[in-house]
Amino acid sequence: MRERIKVLLCDDHTLFREGIKAILKDEPSIEIVGEAADGRQAVAKALQQQPDVVLMDIAMPDLSGFDATRRIIQANAKAKVIILTMYEEEEVINRCLAAGASGYVLKDAPRAHLIHAIDVVNKGGQYMSSRALKKVVKQYVKGGKSTAATGYERLSDREREVLKLLADGLALKDIAVQLVLSVKTVDAHKTNLMRKLDLHDRSELIKYAIQRKLIRLPSS
């Protein structure tokens, strides 16, 4: 009997994780081996549990899905990550692929598509939801270029962390405690990242983070 595909589920919404587990629990070829509610936890659990496939949301607390994916791939080049998201913009798709994702599945996809994507990616292939694939094909037919080399991609790992935490509303001293840095060092990272991104205040930073899908729009 073929070994079951070990899957790590990463999403900050408990109800969504419960829904995915309900969808996959009766699938004999798949086993959910762990869950993560934020990006940093996703990286830690991926390295600890060594799942075959990681299902990764994009806009998560602490560390974005983009950066969590990149860190997982950097630590284990054989890791397979499927982005499971509601976003289908070309720029977002490109950034996920640039981070090393092997799959891109929209959250409104049928159950069978998700199961097929997990199987394909586990075998070393790549999978994209049809709507996402059409966006990418359309871009290249038009002669579009990858958007990977943007201001965000030029930030250091630490600057990306500080950007995400600032956008989440944390004060400098709180970020310093969380990242085990001095407030002066965090402030220096803030100054550098805002200069690189041409941002001038916290409101512009939050707007940038929302536009880049680093955080979700606040609930009304």
Separation between Cα atoms, residue 15 and residue 121, nearest integer Å: 25
Residue 131's nearest CA partner among 176, 79, 87 is: 87
Separation between Cα atoms, residue 68 and residue 58, nearest integer Å: 9
The separation between CA 110 and the C-alpha centre of its own chain, rounded to angstroms, equals: 21
Runs of H (alpha helix) within the chain? 14-24, 39-49, 65-75, 90-99, 111-122, 130-141, 157-167, 172-179, 183-197, 202-211
What own/partner pairs with CB < 8 Å and gap ≥ 24 does 186-195 have?
A: 186/162, 189/156, 189/158, 189/159, 189/162, 190/162, 190/166, 192/159, 193/155, 193/159, 193/160, 193/162, 193/163
Say which residue the tokens 């958007």 belong to. Answer: 147
* pLDDT value of residue 14: 95
User: pTM of the full predicted structure?
Assistant: 0.76
* pLDDT value of residue 28: 92
Mean pLDDT by 10 residues, the chain (220 residues): 88 95 92 95 95 94 91 91 91 87 93 94 92 70 52 87 89 93 94 90 85 69
Region of 124 (left: φ > 0; alpha: ψ -120 to 50; beta: rest) is left
Q: Which residues contact 9 (CB under 8 A, 6 or more apart)?
A: 17, 20, 21, 32, 34, 35, 36, 55
